[in-house]
């Protein structure tokens, strides 16, 4: 009750602030009715409770779900559990066929990892060890992936970006070659690729895509912890074992998707008389020319290819006078499944407690809060628990390709991928802050809670492009991706950052991502309530949320709205 009373005490301030917050961002501000948080809304938020969130996290991250790997029995068990919870809340099926499941096919590619990878160089045959030096995966849906005397070419960042007058290829024919490229994108100039903020050009997904488009045979991405945003062990666990994809529909592919450690790549380059650090320096210029290395390689990967299905679990709450427009929540329900034990008694279940049982539990709690409102919001609500996120945002990609309503009618997306497990924070980490009018609704919720919104606190890691809201942003949907911040009410920023570093370095994508007695749920409650208040505002304001002018997704948004308006 203390928490609820604190919210109630802020109503007068909100009645004054909200017309300013929302009127400032609307095309026809004078026509916008002021919003105010009412007693009913605050009362509904109080149904977001720590006991419910904890129970869902404990269940979904238990060994019984075997790490929730896509297409596994654990995946299907997860889907069944989510449907049962949504039914308990009184929500309705959200898929277009009036079902709970939006099924999609997965092609699982399990490349047989070679023990070694050999390269022919001017200094003789150089041999590198799997796991320690490299990880490699199949780049196409076939029984075998093959490199035959494929030449290596260093292509800097591997980026073609005409809007920045940047082309790392300079017209060089790279068909049939293995492209060696750096992770991330140029980050030293705020007017170039967003400065420290990693753009999609810096993501490994883009690098594999552009290589396939240019006809390359394979890619080796040079790993460093700073450029990736995580340690080498994450590469090992993420890129070994079955790798799932949506069925190929004619998109260009490569044979091999590879990663090499920085130390191993430097040694390989040195065997050809090249200095990796010097080449990095050269690649920092727009005038960089791709370098064909006197190195070739042969590699054959037998691939076990299987077909399976996963599903997005979709639930809806109908709206009022703007019911054809939808606020969509996303949280991925999958994780990495089970690994293979190398020692007796080794824990090989990747439970994914924080990533992302916490996000799923939080969105379930938000759904429960909306179900307690005495009257419906103006816009409808869609709760999308998407699958196969860890395989490359596949579930949300399928959702974006097959949305239950037209993209122009998806008003905004709110994504939760991981939650603050160390208690309440004075701040909120909002990845994408400053890109759309969703900001105003988020600011209202933060003001209500007496908290400060901070943009991406580690922009070099490219978090905006690493979670499910990105799939919807690509079809034009303004988005909010958030979690509790680092400035803990108990311990401050120093403690918050230390906890974050421990998780990234020791537990992210590891079998040790499990719930412990040290977890605190009061912060998860407050963060879920922040998401609820933000969504309520977006669902009831008159104007459709929009990207700010010049944003990279503005064109997609305008096109989607235009298409929705056509008869």
pLDDT, residue 11, reads 35
Distance, CA of 195 to CA of 66 (rounded, Å): 41
The CA distance from 66 to 449, in Å, is 37
Are 481 and 461 contacting, i.e. CB atoms less than 8 angstroms apart?
no
Per-residue confidence band for 25, with pLDDT thresholds at 50, 70 and 90: very low
Let me know: does 276 contact 239? Beta carbons within 8 Å: no
Nearest partner of 442 among 559, 327, 359, judged by Cα: 327
Residue 214's SS3 state is coil
Give the confidence band of 178 by pLDDT, cuts at 50, 70, 90. very high
In Å, what is the CA distance from 466 to each residue of 162, 198, 456, 472? 23, 11, 13, 12
pLDDT tier at 352 (50, 70, 90 boundaries)? Answer: very high
CA nearest to 373, candidates 245, 532, 508, 244: 532
How far apart CA 86 and CA 80 sit, in angstroms, is 10
Contact yes or no for 261/119 (Cβ under 8 A): no
Paired tokens of 444: 């209202």
- Residue pair 271/130 in contact (Cβ under 8 Å)? The answer is no
Check residue 509 and give its pLDDT.
87
Is residue 531 within 8 A of residue 383, CB to CB? The reply is: no
Rounded to the nearest 5°, which phi and psi values hold at 314?
A: -115, 130
Residues of the chain with CATH 3.40.630.10: 2-99+318-565
Evaluated on CA atoms 312, 318, 324, 330, the torsion sign reads negative
* Whole-number pLDDT of residue 187: 86
Task: Give the Cα-Cα-Cα angle 208, 209, 211 (nearest 5 degrees).
Answer: 65
pLDDT digits (tens, 9 = 90+) for 193-233: 878 878 889 889 999 999 999 999 999 999 999 988 889 99
Residue partners of 388: CB distance under 8 A and separation at least 6: 70, 104, 106, 244, 310, 332, 334, 394, 395
DSSP state of 106: E
- The pLDDT tens digits of the residues spanning 372-428 come to 999 999 999 999 999 999 988 999 999 999 999 999 999 999 999 999 999 999 999
User: What tokens were used for 382?
Assistant: 């869609």
More confident residue, 241 or 479: 479
Asked if 161 and 193 touch (Cβ cutoff 8 Å), the reply is yes
pTM of the model: 0.80
Kindly provide the b/e burial profile for residues 511-522, where b requires at least 16 CB atoms within 10 angstroms of the residue's own CB. bebbbeeebebe
User: In the chain, which residues fall in CATH 3.50.30.30?
Assistant: 109-304
CA dihedral angle for residue 390, residue 396, residue 402, residue 408, rounded to 10 degrees: -160
Which has the closest alpha carbon to 79: 329, 328, 333? 333
Contact, 560 vs 412, CB < 8 A? Answer: no
Query: Topology of 2-99+318-565 in CATH?
Result: Aminopeptidase (3.40.630)
> Which residues make beta-bridge pairs with 297?
119, 150
Three-class DSSP labels, 470-495:
HHHHCCCCCEEEEEECCCECCCHHHH
Q: What is the pLDDT of residues 46-70, one digit of tens each?
A: 999 999 999 999 999 999 999 999 9
Higher pLDDT, 271 or 108: 271
- pLDDT grade for 30, boundaries at 50, 70 and 90: very low
Q: Is the peptide bond before 356 cis (omega within 30 degrees of 0)?
A: yes
Pairwise CA distance, residues 160 & 193, whole Å? 12
Residue 364 CA to residue 330 CA, distance in Å, equals 10
DSSP state of 547: B
Q: Say yes or no to pLDDT of 33 above 70.
A: no
| pLDDT, position 339 | 87
150: number of CA atoms within 13 Å, CB side?
Answer: 28
Instruction: Give the integer Cα–Cα distance in Å for 433 and 482.
Output: 9
Architecture of domain 109-304: 3-Layer(bba) Sandwich (3.50)
- Separation of alpha carbons 297 and 228, rounded Å: 25
pLDDT digits (tens, 9 = 90+) for 253-306: 999 999 999 999 999 999 999 999 999 999 999 999 999 999 999 999 999 999
Q: What digits encode the pLDDT tens for the residues 157-169?
A: 999 999 899 999 9
């Amino acid at each position: 009750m203390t928490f609820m009373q604190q919210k109630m005490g802020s109503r007068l301030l909100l009645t004054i602030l909200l017309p300013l917050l929302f009127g400032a961002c609307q095309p026809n501000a004078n026509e916008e009715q002021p919003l105010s948080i009412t007693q009913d809304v605050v009362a509904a938020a109080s149904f977001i409770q720590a006991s419910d969130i904890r129970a869902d996290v404990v269940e979904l991250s238990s060994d019984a779900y075997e790490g929730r790997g896509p297409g596994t029995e654990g995946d299907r068990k997860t889907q069944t559990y989510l449907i049962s919870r949504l039914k308990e809340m009184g929500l309705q099926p959200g898929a277009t066929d009036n079902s709970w499941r939006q099924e999609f096919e997965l092609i699982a590619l399990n490349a047989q990892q070679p023990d070694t990878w050999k390269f022919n160089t001017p200094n003789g045959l150089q041999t590198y060890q799997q796991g320690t030096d490299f990880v490699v995966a199949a780049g196409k849906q076939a029984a075998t992936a093959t490199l035959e005397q494929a030449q290596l070419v260093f292509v800097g960042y591997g980026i073609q970006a005409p809007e920045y007058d940047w082309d790392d290829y300079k017209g060089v024919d790279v068909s049939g070659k293995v492209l060696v490229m750096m992770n991330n994108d140029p980050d030293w100039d705020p007017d170039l690729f967003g400065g420290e903020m990693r753009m999609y050009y810096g993501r490994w997904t883009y690098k594999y895509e552009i290589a396939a488009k240019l006809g390359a045979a394979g890619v080796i991405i040079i790993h460093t912890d700073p450029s990736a945003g995580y340690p080498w062990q994450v590469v090992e666990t993420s890129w070994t074992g079955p790798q799932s994809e949506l069925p190929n529909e004619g998109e260009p592919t490569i044979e091999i998707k590879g990663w090499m450690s920085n130390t191993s790549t430097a040694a390989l380059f040195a065997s050809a008389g090249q200095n990796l650090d010097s080449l990095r320096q050269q690649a920092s210029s727009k005038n960089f020319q791709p370098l064909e290395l006197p190195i070739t390689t042969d590699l054959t990967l037998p691939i076990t290819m299987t077909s399976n299905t996963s599903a997005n679990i979709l639930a809806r709450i109908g709206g009022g006078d703007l019911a054809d427009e939808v606020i969509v929540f996303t949280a991925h329900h999958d994780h990495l499944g089970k690994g293979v034990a190398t020692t007796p008694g080794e824990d090989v279940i990747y439970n994914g407690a924080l990533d992302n049982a916490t996000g799923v539990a939080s969105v379930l709690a938000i759904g429960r809060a909306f179900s307690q409102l005495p009257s419906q919001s103006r816009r409808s609500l869609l709760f999308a628990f998407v699958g196969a996120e860890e395989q490359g945002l596949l579930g949300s990609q399928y959702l974006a390709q097959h949305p239950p309503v037209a993209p122009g009618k998806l008003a905004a997306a709110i994504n939760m991928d991981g939650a603050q497990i160390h208690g309440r924070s004075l701040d909120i980490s909002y990845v994408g802050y400053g890109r759309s009018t969703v900001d105003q609704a988020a600011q209202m919720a933060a003001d209500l809670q007496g908290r400060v919104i901070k943009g991406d606190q580690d922009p070099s890691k490219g978090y905006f492009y690493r979670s499910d809201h990105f799939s919807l942003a690509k079809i034009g949907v303004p988005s909010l991706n958030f979690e509790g911040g680092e400035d803990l009410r108990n311990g401050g920023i120093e403690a918050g950052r230390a906890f974050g570093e421990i998780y990234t370095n020791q537990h992210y994508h590891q079998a040790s991502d499990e719930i412990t007695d040290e977890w605190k749920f009061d912060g998860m409650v407050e963060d879920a309530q922040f998401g609820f208040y933000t969504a309520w505002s977006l669902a009831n304001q008159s104007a459709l949320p929009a990207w700010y002018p010049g944003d990279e997704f503005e064109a997609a948004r305008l096109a989607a709205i235009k298409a929705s308006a056509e008869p």
